[in-house]
Structure 1
Amino acid sequence: MPQALLTGAFLAALFYVLIPGPAFLALLGIGAGQGRRAGAFFMSGHLVGDLVWSALALVAIIGAKSLGTTLFDVLGLACGFYLAWIGWKAFNAKPRGDGRSMLEVERPFRRGLIFGLTNPKGYPVALATFTALMAGAADQLEFSALPILLAVSFLGFLMADIILIGVIGAGVVRRFYRKYEAVIVKCSGLLFMGFAVQALWHSAPGLLGWRRA
């Protein structure tokens, strides 16, 4: 297999995770507020979604065909309501007097799993990233190469997760977060609700048959 394909798959997975988005904001609150362990559990759950969307993107690239939009419209709708619920909860969070974080996620792995699997941008972002970084050798792609490309992508995801967990759990980041926690949490809540509106805006027209062909 050409080295360019392996390098492209690794870098595509790395950049896919490092690009800021809703999951990054969630990791900021969980990691800085509850520590690296909770952040690691969140990213472990999110990794499942990363692998699913990257697999679908690679299948689409190799097969040179679209997977359709209905599935992603449904996921976008679900993600929109989920993000709206999280955003509303964050915006209305109240400071605690016991020194604990304003927002504590009891099951960070489950939160990461839901985030990863219901991200409406997961497929198009993965498709665009993998296509851009593997375009130079795309003519040499075959379905037999899918397992090794997924394995290399997994290493890229893992490297990116380690980088984010290391940064988010750093002492200076945690101190900054605790100092301005109330402002950060409310702003994050507004951003989550903004992401929710965007997800619903792009998903609802397709399900209602309003989207132009």
Structure 2
Amino acid sequence: MPLALYASAFLAAFLYVVIPGPAFLALLGIGAGQGRRAGAAFMVGHFAGDILWTSLALIAIVGAHVIGETVFDVLGALCGLYLGWIGWSALTARRRAAGEPLLMVARPLRRGLVFGLTNPKGYPVALATFTALIGGAATSLDFLSLPPLLAVAIAGFVAGYLVLIAVIGAPLVRRFYRAHELAIVRASGLLFIGFAVQALWHAAPGLLGLRRA
């Protein structure tokens, strides 16, 4: 497989971890209230969910290609629409009530494990993000591609974890995030919309019958 495909898988996993979402906000709350150690324990537990949902997403992407390109195109279009919806929701988000208290978690490792495995957005977001970034190379993928892609994705997860753990719990970061939370969320919304456009761009030629044989 081309190096660019590995780089895209790494980037997809990295962004899946660091882009603000339910898990990111949960981690920020734990880190802000209980420090880096508690935040790291949460991420270790959450890792199981990241691997599960990413594995299923990669299987779906490769399986759709093996079944037929039309299935993959429909999948890509649905993922693009879903990402667009997430992005629009972020862009139109409203500021939360000022002074909202942070939740103290007694067992952050267990919380991360349960959160990662039960997060209803885990699979569709992983599927949409990986489809957007590696969808253009779908014709070169087969089930033998899964182990190396998953290994690269795990490296992307770890890189994302290291970045988050390095910054959570820092007073400056907490103050900055609280002061600019709405802007950060809306910026992530723009990024999701960009992924949506890319996913739809890859899917449209096949759905419209414009893809060359």
Identify the TM-score tier after normalising by the shorter chain: 0.5 to 0.7
Q: How does 1:18-29 map to 2 (within 5 A)?
A: 18-29=18-29
Alpha-carbon contact 1:4-1:136 (below 8 Å) kept: no
Other-structure match for 2:63: 63
1:135 and 2:135 are equivalent in the alignment: yes
Alpha-carbon contact 1:4-1:134 (below 8 Å) kept: no
> Which amino acid is 2:51 matched to?
L
Other-structure match for 1:46: 46
Q: CA deviation at 1:136?
A: 2.3
> Which amino acid is 1:138 matched to?
A
Encode CA deviations 1:169-200: one digit per residue, 9 max, x unaligned. Answer: 223235x39xx8xxx9xxxxxxxxxxxxxxxx
Q: What TM-score results when the alignment is normalised by the length of structure 1?
A: 0.63
> How far apart in 2 are the matches of 1:117 and 1:4?
30
1:30 and 2:30 are equivalent in the alignment: yes
Unaligned runs of 5+ in 1: 67-90, 96-101, 185-213
1:145 and 2:145 are equivalent in the alignment: yes
1:3 and 2:24 are equivalent in the alignment: no
SS in structure 1 at match of 2:146: helix
Other-structure match for 2:158: 158
> How far apart in 2 are the matches of 1:26 and 1:131?
25
> How far apart in 1 are the matches of 2:112 and 2:21?
13
Q: CA deviation at 1:135?
A: 1.8
> How far apart in 1 are the matches of 2:15 and 2:50?
12
Q: How many residues end up aligned between the 2 structures?
A: 146
Q: CA deviation at 1:105?
A: 1.2
> Which amino acid is 1:20 matched to?
P
Other-structure match for 1:168: 168
Q: CA deviation at 1:159?
A: 0.8
Q: CA deviation at 1:116?
A: 0.7
Unaligned runs of 5+ in 2: 72-96, 182-213
Encode CA deviations 1:72-101: one digit per residue, 9 max, x unaligned. Answer: xxxxxxxxxxxxxxxxxxx9xx98xxxxxx
Alpha-carbon contact 1:44-1:112 (below 8 Å) kept: yes
> How far apart in 2 are the matches of 1:151 and 1:40?
21
> How far apart in 2 are the matches of 1:136 and 1:103?
41
Other-structure match for 1:107: 107
Runs of 4+ aligned residues of structure 1 deviating over 2 Å after TM superposition are none
> Which amino acid is 1:10 matched to?
F
> How far apart in 2 are the matches of 1:31 and 1:103?
10
Superposed CA RMSD: 2.3
